[in-house]
Structure 1
Amino acid sequence: MKPLRVRLLLGIFVVVTALAWAGAKLWNSLDTLPGVPAAAPVVLAVVAVVLLAAAVSLRSRLKAIRDRAPGAKRVDPLMAARAVVLGQASALVSAVVAGVYAGLGIELATLPDFDAHRTAVITAGLAVLAAAAVVAAALWLQHVCKLPEDGGSSGKGTASSAR
């Protein structure tokens, strides 16, 4: 499995922001734009906290194994792999969601009657920040679960840290 790169996530964010802004502009010319759900930043923040908790838990368990602490719990490699996949999927979806809310927020902020849309713009901005927190937590979880490099010339990781 290849690790996610920040450059890829930023590229997704920029492209989706441009498309969402253009779509919001078109939608606004045809009809009234929808509002931004107040629960969006809250849900994204909860996902960020869950990913952060998983990363902290895995990090402490892996550190205890590396330090050969007595009673250290073994980390199931499949569970660690699932955590990484969850983190990568969350980061990709959050980059898209952040782009959608950024594009919508830009369009709402540029409308002549800004005062009528102030709450929606603030909520969209908070959703973008919460999505960035999800991406940061997911990238850290990916880093925590990274296997150490093998001493050989093959450059492939070993499963020694997951035991």
Structure 2
Amino acid sequence: MKPLRPALLAGIAVVSGVLAWAGAKLWDSVGDLPGIPTAAPVVLAVVAVVLLAAAISIRGRLRAQRDREPDAKGVDPLVAARVVVLGQASALVAALAVGVYGGTGVFLLSLLDQPARKSQAVTAGFTVLAGLAVIVAALWIQHICKLPEDHDDPTAPAPR
């Protein structure tokens, strides 16, 4: 499994942000732009908290295992791989959400004189912050679960 690169996440966010801004501008010129769901930042914040809790748990168990503490629970490699995959998938979705809500929020900044649009711009801002929290937590999980490189093993396959 290859690590997820922050540049890829930034690219997804930028491209989706530009498309969302253009789509919001076009939609608003044709009709009324739909509202931003208030549950979006809450859902992303919950995902960030779950990923953060998983990262803290795995990090603690890996440290206990590394320090050879008695009665230390190890980390099953399959569980660690599943958590990393969950984190990577969450980061990809969060990058898309950051872009979409960021682009829409930037468009809504031109409509701050309307109270409803001001509220939606604030919601979009909180959604972007929650999405960034998901990305940070996912990248931290990926860092925690990274296997150390073994340079001393002559039977190990050569890196490509």
Q: What's the TM-score, normalizing by structure 1?
A: 0.91
- Asked if 2 retains the 8 angstrom alpha-carbon contact of 1:95 and 1:131, the reply is yes
Q: Distance in 1 between matches of 2:21 and 2:96?
A: 13
**Which residue is equivalent to 1:139?**
139
Contact 1:149 1:155 in 2 (8 A): no
Q: 2:5: which partner in 1?
A: 5
Query: Once the 2 structures are TM-superposed, how far is the Cα of residue 47 of structure 1 from its aligned partner?
Result: 0.3
Counterpart residue number, 1:34: 34
Aligned length, in residue pairs: 156
Residue 125 of structure 1 aligns with an amino acid whose one-letter code is G
Question: What residue number does 2:104 align with?
Answer: 104
Q: Which amino acid aligns with 1:25?
A: K
The 5 A counterparts of 1:123-162 are 123-152=123-152, 154=157
**Runs (5+) with no aligned partner, structure 1:** 157-163
> Cα distance, 1:116 vs. partner?
3.9
What is the aligned-residue identity percentage?
64
Shift of 1:155: 5.9
Instruction: Identify if the C-alpha distance between structure 1 residues 57 and 112 changes in structure 2 by more than 3 Å, giving closer, same or farther.
Output: closer
Pick closer, same or farther for the CA change 1:52–1:88 going to 2, 3 Å: same
Offset of residue 9 of structure 1? 0.7
1:74 equivalent in alignment to 2:45: no
The one-letter code of the counterpart of 1:59 is: R
Moved more, 105-114 or 89-98: 105-114
SS in 1 for 2:111: coil
Q: Which amino acid aligns with 1:102?
A: G
